[in-house]
Structure 1
Amino acid sequence: MALWRAYQRALAAHPWKVQVLTAGSLMGLGDIISQQLVERRGLQEHQRGRTLTMMSLGCGFVGPVVGGWYKVLDRFIPGTTKVDALKKMMLDQGGFAPCFLGCFLPLVGALNGLSAKDNWAKLQRVSWAALAHCLAFLLFTVLFLFLRLAVVQCVAVIWNSYLSWKAHRL
């Protein structure tokens, strides 16, 4: 509990920095889970560079883009009622998520050395399944609006594991 309070204080004092570092940490944790629990690579076969790449993407792309989007979303739909939260979630998952995936997946492909042609083919193959899973997460999170922050953080780790696995599959 003390750790959670310290995180909340840091978030209040330095919201942008903490959001960016949180995104990087969650992306790294998601990749570790993907490699160890989903792909079952084992510690000897763990691709540390891949984890660092995902952490870098979290800090340099995911954190700033998603953090900026949430600011826009809060200005566009002010309020904190359950209806406001539902509207925000629907816009986020129905509008922002497809655009985000359309940028994130090719970025991972480019960082992994895929040619533009291979990257496009992979995006066509992977994006629909990723979007379907994204919408499934939407349904899950709607059920727990009263625990939104905690649920979003937990779902983020699961989602980042899935994204890492999906982005690194051939």
Structure 2
Amino acid sequence: MAALWRGCGRLLAGRPGAAQALTAGALMGAGDVIAQQLVERRGLRGHRGLRTARMVAIGFCFVGPVVGSWYRILDRLIPGSTKVVAVKKMLLDQGAFAPCFLGCFLAVTGAVSGLSVQENCSKIQQIWPPVQIANFYLVPLQHRLAVVQCVAIVWNCYLSWKANRM
């Protein structure tokens, strides 16, 4: 486990975009597996691998690169790591980025899953702002996406379950 952690650290340091895309893809895939196995109780025979692959692809190709880039931009716009800076980042994140990102995420998810934007919009809730305050205050830039994705694994599970309900 220690070797895996060191390898992740080297990847983050050398290729942060790739590491964040891989992290987002893996965690969104994990959210789908949890949705299928624990929420929907599909069992291994009923598991829909293509659906999990779609969620991994959305995380890898869309969520990781977009959110990782946003966090780098946000860190340049509002430098520092005080509590006030963390609140400013959270307000900008939730007030400006989150609505745009959510709209794009819904469009991508809808296109990939075959659901309309309206169906997805009716099922989405606001992201919990205190998580972002803690994330911007306590977590170094290169780890923020991973923290958000870990917290959001339940959210990803919910999204996957709702987006793939038949």
Provide the TM-score with structure 1 as the length reference.
0.81
Give the one of 107, 129, 135 matched to 1:138.
129
The 2-side partners of 1:143 and 1:78 are apart by 16
Q: Retained in 1: the 8 A contact 2:106–2:121?
A: no
Superimposed CA distance per residue, residues 107-146 of structure 1 (whole angstroms, 9 cap, x where no aligned partner):
21211234xxxx143134223xx22xx1xx2234546753
**Identity within the alignment, %:** 56
CA contact (8 A) 1:20 1:60 kept: yes
Report if the CA contact (8 A) 2:20-2:68 is conserved: yes
**Aligned counterparts of 1:161 and 1:112: Cα–Cα separation in 2:** 14
Give the equivalent residue in structure 2 for 1:43: 44
Moved more, 70-79 or 145-154: 145-154
Give the superposition deviation at 1:147: 5.8
Q: How many angstroms apart in 1 are the aligned matches of 2:14 and 2:134? A: 31
Q: Distance in 2 between matches of 1:6 and 1:160?
A: 25
Deviation readout 1:46-84 (Å, 9 max, x if unpaired): 111010001011111111111111111111111122221
Could you tell me how far apart the structure 2 residues matched to 1:12 and 1:124 are? 36
**Structure 1 residues 10, 140: closer, same or farther in 2, change over 3 A?**
closer
**Which of 106, 120, 123 is equivalent to 2:120?**
123
| Aligned AA (2:158) | Y
Q: Of Structure 1 and Structure 2, which has the larger fraction of its residues in helix?
A: 1
Structure 1 residues not aligned, in runs of 5+: none
- The amino acid across from 1:138 in the alignment is P
Deviation, 1:151, is 4.7
Deviation of residue 8 (structure 1)?
Answer: 1.6
- Equivalent runs, 1:7-46 vs 2, <5 Å: 7-46=8-47
Give the length in aligned residue pairs: 160
The equivalences for 1:41-80 within 5 A come to 41-80=42-81
Q: After TM superposition, which residue ranges in structure 1, 4 or more long, deviate above 4 angstroms?
A: 147-151
CA shift in 2, pair 1:94/1:16, >3 Å:
same
TM-score by length of 2: 0.82
Q: Given that residues 141 and 151 in structure 1 are in contact (C-alpha distance below 8 angstroms), is that contact kept between their aligned partners in structure 2?
A: no
Q: Which residue of 2 aligns with 1:164?
A: 160
Unaligned runs of 5+ in 2: none
